[in-house]
A and B are shown apart, each in its own frame.
Chain A
């Protein structure tokens, strides 16, 4: 499989920084859900975000493609600053793929149509090319034979792999995974994680919110621990698991690694 980065875009002109978040603050009504988040993600970096639920992990992830807005701070994705301008937002979303906990496949479209929808309507790709591309990625996630079925006929693990293929069909530079295995039956977690591990080998920038610590240890360049809406610790996987620096991180790891 060739590289995910759109060859038409001049690689040299692109900055080495994929995502830059500075002083991000967000409130849900009175509730301060993101508190002074500062984070720079380099191109090709693989980041795992973990932490107790309600800590703002998903919210942070969803700010990166502006599914959530915020009150203060800046988010710059691939050199484009996210503002209220719909043009900027769409420009970022074209290059940022997202995989959701609940898959969110379009139930009225076949697997193939799910994958070709955005390439055809957003990238203006001819249908034939879009279908070839979709079949390539469906083969990659190992379900080409399901292309003509509707998502409702597939198992959870298969649906999530389709969702990954659907996101990849836009040739994104960055992939966001929002608890991709949390809604799956235990026996299907592995097939999805394997797909993600394979993807990590391609050098695509990945941000993954997950509780799968094995995946984090295997794949992550850095692990971010979030609690109470703030980043508590950023560390390399080895140190994160073996020598966590912050007390909260230690408590969290004790709870989930028992």
Chain B
């Protein structure tokens, strides 16, 4: 070997870091990396582009360019010589929008619903904004103050001059939001308690938690709703029977709690045993250990799953129509057959509007969860 002489090497100058070649950075680098990295990827990219080119223009034409945005009745949305292929009939949505939002809530009292939406948005904002001041107060506001306040505001309290509005008049987005937020506000704490119960060493507690979770999870939501609305009145005298909406709320909250319990249980199981031991060794009691050490870690791990459960819950609220409650989807169903607006495109437009509403809400939750997850992962790596 010629190299035998060079047994010792000592570096005299250090190599400076150089910028990556142009094919590895910027737009070109991104394209190479993500769209054209292999023959299969190139084929898939082309296929996807072709699909978009095929599907997107007609959709845009129907929902945007050819759509009718204003008008007073069905005439504007019907095919006419000057408009042979009319698009979506957004005019109908505009005409019915307040019904979709409030249902039959009396018109002079609708400010109360608006106020409810505002206070709710405020509460959600307080909790969702991670850097907000006094988030502990925010939690108390959302989980205790807001429910009581909303109840008084929406159903009325003649004592303070708010006319009573029976829940049979509530409808639309209002009902959807009420059912979903009650489900969320109840299911998170109840689900945590059930999950802790299921891991408890006390047999009675454990048995109750397991029985509740397994029973509710083993039954479809529709059945739970039917049971809540039909069976509940059988057990209590007619006079004391809770009203229809409340019964549905109980059903939805029970259902969501059972699922939440399983989600939280997964999180609890992911906290290493050493964390429990360290907390115990410091002399923390069971509840201190749980609330200060275990739950913060468990909930962080399960945050994506908690939001998944919330999203599923939000969509499941559309099932309450089965027990005769006028939720958002049901108001669209009802308005769809209004003879003043009946056209070939009315139903499509109504359902597209409903889909857009549900999608925006659920996608918003999902994006938010991802952001928080990424932030927490960066902030406290294990």
Contacts and interface: CB of A to CB of B under 8 A. Distances in A.
Interface of A: 65, 67, 86, 90, 93-94, 96-98, 100, 102, 104-108, 117-118, 121-122, 150, 152-153, 166-167, 170
A104 B277 contact: yes
B381 interface: yes
Contact of B282 (A108, A117, A152, A153): A117
B280 interface: yes
A121 B284 contact: yes
Given A102-B274, A152-B382, A107 B297 contact: yes
Given A104-B274, A108-B300, A152-B381, A96 B292 contact: no
A127 to B, nearest CB: 14
A65 B272 CA distance: 19
30 contacts: A65-B280, A67-B277, A67-B280, A67-B281, A86-B285, A90-B283, A93-B281, A93-B282, A96-B281, A98-B278, A100-B278, A102-B274, A104-B272, A104-B277, A106-B275, A106-B293, A107-B381, A117-B284, A118-B283, A118-B284, A121-B284, A122-B284, A150-B380, A150-B381, A152-B380, A152-B381, A152-B382, A166-B282, A167-B282, A170-B282
A97 B275 CA distance: 15
Given A67-B277, A100-B278, A108-B296, A122 B380 contact: no
Interface residues of B, number: 22
B379 interface: yes
Given A107-B380, A117-B292, A153-B381, A65 B300 contact: no
Contact of A105 (B278, B284, B300): B278
Contacts of A90: 283, 285
Nearest to A119: B282
A112 B163 CA distance: 53
Contact of A104 (B275, B285, B380): B275
Contact of B283 (A106, A152, A170): A170
A95 to B, nearest CB: 8
A59 to B, nearest CB: 13
B24 interface: no
B290 to A, nearest CB: 12
Contacts of B275: 104, 106
Contacts of B274: 100, 102, 104
**B278, B280, B281, B297 — most chain A CB neighbours (10 Å):** B281
Q: Max chain B CB contacts within 10 Å: which of A93, A102, A106, A153?
A: A106
Contacts of B283: 90, 93-94, 118, 122, 170
B375 interface: no
B135 interface: no
B288 interface: yes
Q: Which 9 A-B pairs have the closest CB atoms?
A: A104-B278, A152-B381, A104-B274, A118-B282, A93-B283, A98-B281, A94-B283, A150-B380, A122-B283
Contacts of B285: 86, 90
A78 to B, nearest CB: 13
A122 B282 contact: yes
A86 B288 CA distance: 14
Report which residue of B280, B282, B292, B382 has the largest number of chain A beta carbons within 10 angstroms of its beta carbon. B282
Nearest to A117: B292
A106 B300 CA distance: 13
Contacts of A96: 281
Contacts of A153: 381
Contact of A106 (B278, B281, B381): B278
A77 to B, nearest CB: 13
A132 B275 CA distance: 25
A62 to B, nearest CB: 8
A118 B293 CA distance: 11
A108 B380 contact: yes
Interface in B337-382: 379-382
B73 to A, nearest CB: 59
Nearest to B285: A90
